[in-house]
Amino acid sequence: MRRFQLFIDGEFCDARSGETYQSLNPATGEAIAEIARGGPEDVAEACQAAQIAFEGEWGAMAAADRAKILSCVADMLLEQTEQFAQMETADVGKPITEARNIDVPVAAAYLKWYSEMTTATLGQTVPLSTTEQVDWTMYEPYGVIGGIVPWNFPLFLAMLKIGPALAMGNSIVLKPASITPMTTLAICELFAEAGLPAGALNVVAGPGPTVGEAIVTNPHVRMVSFTGSTDVGRRVMELAARNITDTSMELGGKSPNIIFADADFDQAVAGAVFGLLLNNGQNCIAGSRLLVQKPIYDELVSAVAQKMASLKLGDPTEDDTQLGAIVSATQLEKVLGYIQIGKSEGAAVISGGKQPEGPEFQHGLFVEPTLLADVSNDMRVAREEIFGPVLVAIPFDDEDDAVRIANDTDYGLGSGVFTTDTSRARRMVHALKSGTVYVNTYNQIYPQAPFPGWNGSGNGVERGLAGLYNYVRIKNVIQDISGKPIGWF
């Protein structure tokens, strides 16, 4: 069994309490690692180290040198793709092909892109109505950033916090999800090898109510970047308000994936399935509400159900496995509970709906990909985030009806539209109230493309140039160039 320590002030160390806990493989139920259980004292030490680093060597480092460190880590990560992919699969339960082809290379791509953004020009000259003064804006790092990431994409979501924070010259104290901390702790060794000064990056694993809250309320932390559920996000914002700490929240979703009758049928079926089942539906932007125009509703729902039923569910370490395990027993219970709720509300189970049988599933946390039909948008399964492989199918009449149903949600993270009518696509893009709209595709991500959350899905922006602004503060400068005395006294 591997042993993982905390990473504080450039060194791996045990928790002050000496406590540890075990990380479990959700596909087998086996303990795979012993993790140091951090606490408030560890967070305080990490935040102090981060502040000292920011005021010292790290804060004085040239942007070009910061870029070299981030780029070096990206290169080393790609060289160790298989090791990190296997850790991610064991910790999360996702298929090895997914970890190998998405999680690790995407994490490296983010670091590489942010390395190129260290010298991005974010300020501007402000035109004035006078020639006697000049005005310009500049952006400066906050200092210490607090980062909190969830369990669904541990490695590359950690890089979404670490990358921009370091690129903009901040130091960071990061809390990985307590049940999936391995890759985030492991990559700290690469940062150290790349020459990152001590204290610039600190990772403290442990429970949210202790470690997470200690990070958010620490006086050194001037901005908190959080990815997770909307309920926990509200708690983070409440705690951050005590110190008037800025926040960036990337929260939950209940995204509509809208299929019009004129859509390319095969493309729409593929988009519906991939839109939900990437990472087994444990994905904040998953297209978990499938809105289908009535003329093709029965045919398309049947095709989607057949496709979902054909996917190989099983051992995530096998290359041909397409769906792995649910991340934890708590999450499995939640998913199964929502399937029962849907049935009690009158939804019809068209595919899946239960745990698979067989010796290979005996000790793991598995559930069949499930399609619920005959769903109305007022049902709980259509309104609440399930965060698992459960797709609800809702019929609609026309564009106006689709927009009404799609926007009738507390969330606003993503939407999908499948149609061959380009004019309709443009109308839908403008009508849908979400931070991202996919047209004839779904679940595509790029480091340079922004990822905003609307309404209950958060505030601020992840990724892209817009995401860099989360990690800096604006300063306005007004300078007199006339040499004349100011004022009227």
Q: Domains of the chain (ranges plus CATH)? A: 2-251+458-476 (3.40.605.10), 256-439 (3.40.309.10)
According to DSSP, the residues that pair with 171 across neighbouring strands are 144
According to DSSP, the residues that pair with 147 across neighbouring strands are 174, 225
What are the respective helix, strand and coil percentages of the chain, to the nearest 5? 40, 20, 35
- pTM of the complete model beyond 0.85: yes
Q: Using CA atoms, how far apart are residues 130 and 486, in angstroms rounded to an integer?
A: 14
Helix (H) or strand (E) holding 21: strand 20-24
Of the candidates 88, 98, 213, 250, the residue annotated as catalytic is 250
In terms of DSSP H, where are the helices of 181-229? 182-193, 213-217
Q: Using CA atoms, how far apart are residues 55 and 146, in angstroms rounded to an integer?
A: 16
Q: Are 12 and 198 in contact (CB under 8 A)?
A: no
Annotation says 30 is catalytic: no
Annotation says 250 is catalytic: yes
The residues, any chain, with a CB within 8 Å of residue 481's CB and separated by 6 or more, are 132, 133, 134
The pLDDT score that the predictor gives to residue 487 is 85
- From the CA atom positions of the chain, what is the Rg in Å? 24
The pLDDT score that the predictor gives to residue 120 is 86
The pLDDT score that the predictor gives to residue 488 is 83
Q: Are 175 and 8 in contact (CB under 8 A)?
A: no
The residues, any chain, with a CB within 8 Å of residue 279's CB and separated by 6 or more, are 94, 98, 152, 153
| Main-chain phi, psi angles of 79, to 5 degrees | -65, -25
Letter for the amino acid at 87?
A: M
| Main-chain phi, psi angles of 8, to 5 degrees | -135, 130
Buried b (16+ CB within 10 A) or exposed e, 393-423: bbbbeebeebbebbeebebbbbbbbbbeeee
Q: Can you give the pLDDT of all 489 residues of the chain as single tens digits?
A: 899 999 999 999 999 999 999 999 999 999 999 999 999 999 999 999 999 999 999 999 999 999 999 999 999 999 999 999 999 999 999 999 999 999 999 999 999 999 999 988 889 999 999 999 999 999 999 999 999 999 999 999 999 999 999 999 999 999 999 999 999 999 999 999 999 999 999 999 999 999 999 999 999 999 999 999 999 999 999 999 999 999 999 999 999 999 999 999 999 999 999 999 999 999 999 999 999 999 999 999 999 999 999 999 999 999 999 999 999 999 999 999 999 999 999 999 999 999 999 999 999 999 999 999 999 999 999 999 999 999 999 999 999 999 999 999 999 999 999 999 999 999 999 999 999 999 999 999 999 999 999 999 999 899 999 999 999 999 999 999 999 998 888
Q: Are 256 and 416 in contact (CB under 8 A)?
A: yes
Residue appearing with tokens 């004035």? 128
The answer for 454, left when phi > 0, alpha when psi is -120 to 50, beta otherwise, is beta
